[in-house]
Structure 1
């Protein structure tokens, strides 16, 4: 079968090279997404999925290599699905993510930031302080496997090391295999959640059967040898509890991270959401607060506040900070953290489903001078719409500045379109945060300032929300 070569022009949101087949007249034809290919390269590919208007495939032959191509550091690259971009020079990875953000703002939100900020960088290796490791007993592959899924598969990758995990965790992958292989519940232990703090490393075993006395002896010996803490989880995340060392016993150390610039010490549970990259989290918090430009007399809202990652630093600068989150368990722990850091008198926390927030809710909350928004991947569309409606009837309650921290450029772009075209904000700045080096994940941040009141929504065609496209459709 004759190989067909195409020129790769760009990368899509999944880090795949994008090119086109040629029509008979030489014009661009069907879009091809090639895993492992980079812009500027000429490649042939093996098709893995075919649709009428596009195909997806894997790189087969590299006829012309990009100057940005580098040798992957990890020996498991291409098999393990934990990283997809190790073959691209780190600076070029960040540039690609910046382009993804700008393209999403332009095509989805129909907005353009007045200024694109310099990307926020950090360590590119040993950075992942949270991980969910899958566990499978696969006799055909020699026994127990512990690691991430294979790329594009539900199978567990056969890995013995990991370059993005801190070294003291990466070197446990093989000992963990041996430990689990010796347990009676070898087939009843589907995953291990890893959470690393300043003084302790916790591994949460998801167990679906009781431990035997022999199992308990093996787990305790492993913890003592490698200096880790075991938690056990029998059902959902809320069932996770410390096992060994016992919280009131010798050797137990609380799980926490710090934000030294603000004097904050943040305890957390291993199943709580915290940022994967502690170094970048510190940079991000400091940058977000500078962009928000909080004044001592300001009342600030921190929406989707979680454990108070932004709330508590904000409380060191503002008159009052109100943290709102959808989970009572999280807001309770956020309040505990505020008390532990001596900031309870400047913070207030409440539980509310922010995916259903309305103008009425905002009116009841009162005037906020500044607002920080840090939603999950689904974004904050309901909030953006509520702010647009608030502008029509209660303009005096509108926050003057909003800083929006996003883990999805497409939902940020969608919400930015509403904030700009309906609520009358101006997008002053935007930029990317390299929270997840060597992956296609794009963390970003946008800054909005209140501008002139827009024309009524019925006269503004750009206000109509649109469905977000799939990653491949967005690029095509």
Structure 2
């Protein structure tokens, strides 16, 4: 993690939206007109699509079938961008956003859409992208994986910034603390006092966290606070740009002790745990169907939605169907979220990850869960790894869970293994579709695919696909 302070800015005008900053690609200053348009469809970014004066208009906060009044955000060569400011004729799928910060906060862009409509829209995006880039559709569309749409997010980073209030007669310019997430289309911060997608135990403490930072003598040198929730505890990682005086440290200790939380301080790239003083720097979650407990550092990558993660792991294992005599490869394995459940079913599993710290965590989790038929390897997965010692035995089945950029080099390299099944977990339907086209050329067919509501109320689309050798 970078030691530089993030480029946060904060709005000083309450809930009034900050003016849109024109992109370098904008062809002109946004028009001040507020036309009324009819929304025809949703884009792959889950924005409303309209046509106005022969030009495509992408509209935030708008749903198909609606008539809305819009405010322009940007003009571009081939399309314009706007936001709906008044809903004249609402769609049946529209709902009142449950969060009071919806208008400004950039975290949950779909709270105006009912949850069932959100997941239906995401499924359509997945299928459209597969058809557009791979010219194919799955033989079977899997039912969506869903769970609660509130209180699901176990990790987040809140930025802090002191800003000056507008000058009032007879008063000085007193800086005001802003604590929250980035606003939509801006580097400004939304000053939040609750967050419906975070665990309720954390959300209700946000006003107290705000007060705590404001009371610190060196509070203005705290750049952000990360929260990570395990199933048994919550950890705070406080990033501070100057050493905290003893009085500030005591304020933090009093706060976390009262809540029963863990506290980490981070002055450079490496945080260190200061409370509780005993015990490891670990949180945990469980995969009950496989009898596993997974341990992680608060800054490790883990899936942010434990409920969907459990369903996702079960589905991935069921689709891959590892047998007791088979050797399985898990690529982009992280700390073993899929690797260890696979090891419960297969003869041998090899987990490969580019981050050395995560492979160490994987070995740690294998040892904690008393699994000795699994190995973790660190490797650059953009390179051909087929001649590596751990790959020479070949693999019967393969699972991959790449980042948003996808796994184009990987699917080219793994095809020669001749695995009968490949399960691909994706957080970007566009790169999944691109890689699907590559697998189809290499003798696989897309048997099944479906979406998973890992990030309710956001535009992120998580999906899973099964490829079988023809």
TM-score by length of structure 2 reads 0.89
1:135, CA displacement in angstroms?
A: 1.4
Aligned to 2:427: 407
Aligned to 2:278: 247
Gaps of 5+ in 1: 23-28, 391-396, 452-476
Aligned to 2:412: 385
Q: List aligned pairs for 1:324-473, cutoff 5 A.
A: 324-343=352-371, 345-357=372-384, 359-361=386-388, 364-388=391-415, 390=416, 397-421=417-441, 423-451=442-470
Residue range with higher mean Cα deviation, 139-148 or 129-138: 139-148
1:104, CA displacement in angstroms?
A: 0.9
CA displacement, residues 189-214 of structure 1 (integer Å, 9 cap, x when unaligned): 11111111121100001111111111
Q: Which of 242, 252, 261 is the matching residue for 1:219? A: 252
The separation in 1 between residues aligned to 2:368 and 2:100, in whole angstroms, is 44
**Contact 2:295–2:365 (CA under 8 A) maintained in structure 1:** yes
**Contact 2:453–2:461 (CA under 8 A) maintained in structure 1:** yes
Q: Does residue 49 of structure 1 match 2:74? A: yes
Aligned to 1:272: 300
Aligned to 2:343: 315
Gaps of 5+ in 2: 1-31, 167-174
Pair 3,230 (structure 1): closer, same or farther in 2 beyond 3 Å: closer
1:3, CA displacement in angstroms?
A: 4.6
Residue range with higher mean Cα deviation, 318-327 or 223-232: 223-232
Q: Which of 164, 172, 177 is the matching residue for 1:144? A: 177
Aligned to 1:10: 41
2:382 counterpart SS class = helix
Q: Does residue 261 of structure 1 match 2:263? A: no
The separation in 2 between residues aligned to 1:37 and 1:302, in whole angstroms, is 40
Residue range with higher mean Cα deviation, 359-368 or 131-140: 359-368
CA displacement, residues 48-72 of structure 1 (integer Å, 9 cap, x when unaligned): 1111210001113322110111111
1:111, CA displacement in angstroms?
A: 2.3
1:229, CA displacement in angstroms?
A: 1.1
Q: List aligned pairs for 1:121-270, cutoff 5 A.
A: 121-140=146-165, 143-236=176-269, 239-248=270-279, 254-270=282-298
The separation in 1 between residues aligned to 2:56 and 2:104, in whole angstroms, is 25
2:318 counterpart SS class = helix
**Contact 1:231–1:242 (CA under 8 A) maintained in structure 2:** yes
Alignment RMSD: 1.7
The separation in 2 between residues aligned to 1:257 and 1:96, in whole angstroms, is 30
